[in-house]
Amino acid sequence: MESLRRFWAEHRTLLSAVAAALSFGIGVLYLFVVPEYRPTTGPVLQFLLRYAHSACWFLLAITFALIQVNGTAKIRKITAYTALALYAGFMVSFLLTR
């Protein structure tokens, strides 16, 4: 475990930059690859189905970028937990509309 911590400490900037770029790319991908439109769903569920998944990945990209620029832990936690909440909302809406 100590070697993993040392590796993270030595490569933190590079790893967080790569993770931010990958997260941003996945966010762009999910902005265009969306579940099919279901006319029986309400506007909130439709919004969550359409945008929450990509917004989750964009927030993760921001979180990783904040690691790279030494953003405060409080802001990183807020963006990470907001991403988690958006993903949970996406999954609930996805499962409700199956």
| Per-residue pLDDT of the chain in tens (98 residues, 90 and over written 9) | 788 889 888 888 899 999 999 999 999 998 888 766 667 678 888 888 889 999 999 999 999 999 888 888 999 999 999 999 999 999 998 888 87
Query: What pLDDT score was predicted for residue 20?
Result: 95
CA 93 to CA 98: how far, in whole Å? 9
Query: What pLDDT score was predicted for residue 46?
Result: 85
CA 62 to CA 77: how far, in whole Å? 11
Closest CA to 27 of 62, 78, 71: 62
Give the list of residues 6+ apart from residue 89 with CB closer than 8 angstroms, or none.
48, 52
